[in-house]
Amino acid sequence: MPQGRRQLADMIRRLNTAGVDAVYVDYVFDQATDARTDADLNNALREFSGQAYLVRVLNTDFNGNRVLRGDTPLIADGVDQVALDAWVNYLGYTWYMPYAVEEDGVSLPNLPAQIAGVSGEPGEMFPITYNYELSSIPTYRLSDLMENPLRLRELAGKTVIISNSSERGIQPSNVPGHKAVPPSIISIYAAETLLAGDPHFVTGLPFILAAIAALLLAASIRQRSLRYTAYAVTSITALAAPFISAHFDVRISIAYALSVLLVYGLFRLRASWRENLRMVDSVTGLPTFAALEADRVVADTVPAIIVARIHRFEEVRRTLADELHAAYLQAIAARLKAATQDATIYIGQGHLIAWTMREKEPALLREHLEGLRALFSSPLVVGDQQVDVGITFGIDISPSPNVVRRLAAAVAVAEKTTETFEPIAVADSASQEDLIWNISLQARIDAALTNGEIYLAFQPKIMVQTGEIIGAEALVRWKDPVKGHIPPDNFIRQCETAGRMSQLTRFVLEEACKAGNMFAAEGLNLPIAVNISATLLHERGIVTMVRDVLAESGFEPRRLTLEITETYRISNLDLAADILGELSALGAKISMDDFGVGAASLEALLKLPFSELKIDRMFIAPMTSDPKAHGIVKSVLQMGRDLRIIVVAEGVEDAGTLTLLRDSGCLVAQGFAISRPVTFDKILDFHRSSRIEKLTNIV
Ligand code: C2E
Ligand code: CA
Ligand code: CA
């Protein structure tokens, strides 16, 4: 409307008179009205003695193109122009503005940049700070100024932006704390930001790094409640940081940091969800052993841990239809529950079920569990099938807070129980230590064999009459860097269960033959005895092994004695006889170790081709005090003479026993009274000194 333009021309002239520095007309007159009015406005602008600008607004047209709307040439001709490109986001806020806008290859300064007198490339952005109050920006109504010309004086030396706040179609902007302010206000904030100089603006990266560092720090806190507090503090700080920092004129972009927090949160959620999966048995929906292990209350109150072992579990399960598997376990759990004062029932691998009880008195526990067993003597009904359930129990009542270890101990004893012989067993804490140790031991045997922790000691066998050394038994030794010396009795069983017996035996054979060769090099043609576990006589591999080691070492076969230990464990005497036949055909001597211990000693002696017999120390040690032991030894010695095989007395612990053996006609002896198992060098010393002894005897 021409009237508005006339008023505006009038006002510009008045502002000029009032001594205003610069005037910006933030309004686009794109239509011409009557020519005189428009030319008059043009004149007013051109005659302005300070700086007068027309603001051209960047809009998006219907095709999505960005166009700079300009004024009709009648008004615009010869008047300086600036652009206004405000980046209003979808929430109505403007955080950034460009320094300049480009049109047809020409750079037009953006309104705030022009006010601040700062220049920049088109497209180059600067952030806007809103850290002072809206009310501190003076605004005037055109009509007020017309009515009170005196107020115009306040504007002397100032920069004035004229805009039409009631213009329809102009999208109002927000500033923090205020909604829908006239868009020119944003330009003023932007200009002030530029005038304030280098804005302190923290972009995403340092803030993300800080957020990640804080999260890592929080995650490393062990105590759960403290850790969660740290997470909360981190999140709240991340959210509050922009507001707090704004006070110090520092702007922080939090979007990235928030996404880091969010992603981290999602990962934690997933981890705890998976943890939950591990804690719950998928078939029955009951908690698992992992849940019991993680239970803080159990760790703190240290109740008895009961592990029930379901016998023939797999067999029964296989006879049931798939959909009945869960019902089967649930039926067992339900019956247990009825008798366990509604304790939480935990499901272990397949056939194991655990719960805890406050009662820790073994006698009372046994009584209770006997009752449970009785309860299980009537069959369960699963589907339309009747199922017999055999159940036995392992108990741990040790006072340790280590639930993992206690559960393992209860499981271990439960696994050893039998329905008929020992249906209820209590783990003792000493054997727990062994259990843990043994588990790690199996894994370490291989390494120990190669790194020299396992080596041989030798114990002399002597002629009782002369004291002359006539052989040496190789005994395996293990010196663990942490545990110290581990007695062979302790780890040989482990080697067996871990399937390492062949490796160990081969190692001992090789080392023994090597030592035998070295003795020979020192002028001592000593027979060497190696212990062979009876379990190795279940297959022919041992024959090949002995043949190979003899061939590789070049050790004389007739100087090798194989002491077969634990002969009572031979299950197939015919096969063992074959194998031993082949071994003696190689030239080795076969000795029966530990004679008299275990069942079937005589049967083994009868059927197997032994050329030597070692009376176990169980009979030798008490010989001097126990006439019965003495009698047995004497008759075994007699038996040896009749069978024409050598009898060796092992475990001779004192001189009295040695004398008694000599008087009983024993030819060969071995034991602490003569020498403990010693190193290779000590055997050589022993050999030399016993010779000297002999010489002195003669003299
Ligand atoms: P063993 O074959 O009966 O070996 C003799 C054991 O009695 C050795 O124990 C030896 O130190 C001990 N001993 C010797 N003299 C006396 C004595 O006067 N009094 C007492 N109380 N003990 C005496 P070590 O070395 O602990 O070996 C124990 C068992 O381990 C051996 O009994 C043998 O069955 C087995 N063993 C040792 N080395 C090997 C091996 O290389 N292979 C196999 N398969 N078994 C081995
Ligand atoms: Ca032996
Ligand atoms: Ca023995």
Q: Provide the pLDDT for residue 482.
A: 74
Q: Where are the beta strands (DSSP E) in 617-684?
A: 646-650, 668-670
Interval between CA 646 and ligand 2 midpoint (Å): 15
Question: Percentage helix, strand, coil, to 5, in the chain?
Answer: 50, 20, 30
Q: Provide the pLDDT for residue 696.
A: 52
Interval between CA 436 and ligand 3 midpoint (Å): 28
**Confidence check: pLDDT of 616 > 80:** yes
Ligand 1 site, CB within 6 A = 459, 475-476, 487-489, 492, 508, 531-533, 563, 565, 593-594, 617, 650-653, 671-672, 677
Q: Provide the pLDDT for residue 228.
A: 82
Interval between CA 592 and ligand 2 midpoint (Å): 9
Q: Around ion ligand 3, which residues have CB less than 5 A away?
A: 593-594
Q: Provide the pLDDT for residue 77.
A: 87
Q: Provide the pLDDT for residue 274.
A: 73
Rounded to the nearest 10 degrees, the angle between the axes of helix 501-521 and helix 680-698 is 40
**Confidence check: pLDDT of 434 > 80:** no
Ligand found nearest the CA of 489: 1
pLDDT tens track for 502-559: 999 999 999 999 999 999 999 999 999 999 999 899 889 999 999 999 999 999 999 9
Q: Among 538, 549, 565, say which to mutate for ligand 1: greatest number of ligand atoms within 8 Å of CB.
A: 565
Name which residue sits closest to atom 20 of ligand 1, judged by CA.
651
Query: Would you tell me how many other CB atoms lie within 10 Å of the CB of residue 282?
Result: 9
Quickly state the pLDDT bin for 383 (edges 50, 70, 90). Answer: confident
Interval between CA 650 and ligand 3 midpoint (Å): 7
pLDDT tens track for 279-297: 888 878 889 998 999 888 8
Q: Provide the pLDDT for residue 591.
A: 97
- Tokens for 93, please give them: 């806020």
Name which residue sits closest to atom 25 of ligand 1, judged by CA.
475
How are beta strands 646-650 and 668-670 bridged, if at all?
parallel
Name which residue sits closest to atom 22 of ligand 1, judged by CA.
651
User: Can you tell me the mean pLDDT for 80-102?
Assistant: 84
pLDDT tens track for 9-33: 999 999 998 899 999 998 888 888 8
Ligand found nearest the CA of 565: 1
Q: Which residue has the tokens 């110290």?
A: 484
Name which residue sits closest to atom 45 of ligand 1, judged by CA.
531
Quickly state the pLDDT bin for 698 (edges 50, 70, 90). Answer: very low
Quickly state the pLDDT bin for 385 (edges 50, 70, 90). Answer: confident
Distance of alpha carbon 630 from alpha carbon 636, whole angstroms: 10
pTM metric for this prediction: 0.48
How are beta strands 352-357 and 346-347 bridged, if at all?
antiparallel
Q: Provide the pLDDT for residue 577.
A: 96
Q: Provide the pLDDT for residue 199.
A: 54
- Looking from the CA of residue 530, the nearest atom of ligand 1 is 41
Least confident of 241-250, 511-520, 541-550, 681-690: 241-250
pLDDT tens track for 332-357: 888 888 877 778 999 887 789 999 99
Contact 601, 619 (CB under 8 A): no
- Tokens for 642, please give them: 């009749």
Cα pseudo-dihedral 220, 226, 231, 232, rounded to 10: -170
Name which residue sits closest to atom 4 of ligand 1, judged by CA.
475
Quickly state the pLDDT bin for 203 (edges 50, 70, 90). Answer: low
pLDDT tens track for 571-606: 899 999 999 999 999 999 999 999 998 776 899 999
Least confident of 255-269, 338-352, 479-493: 255-269
Q: Provide the pLDDT for residue 699.
A: 43
| H or E segment to which residue 307 belongs | strand 304-311
Q: Provide the pLDDT for residue 649.
A: 97
**Confidence check: pLDDT of 308 > 70:** yes
Q: Provide the pLDDT for residue 609.
A: 95
Name which residue sits closest to atom 10 of ligand 1, judged by CA.
677
- Among 540, 531, 592, 589, CA closest to 567: 592
Ligand found nearest the CA of 566: 1
User: Which of 80-94, 259-273, 454-468, 677-691 ranks highest by mean pLDDT?
Assistant: 454-468
Quickly state the pLDDT bin for 146 (edges 50, 70, 90). Answer: confident
**Confidence check: pLDDT of 162 > 60:** yes
Query: Would you tell me how many other CB atoms lie within 10 Å of the CB of residue 479?
Result: 13
pLDDT higher for 398 or 342? 398
Quote the mean pLDDT of the chain.
86
Q: Provide the pLDDT for residue 439.
A: 60
Q: Provide the pLDDT for residue 355.
A: 94
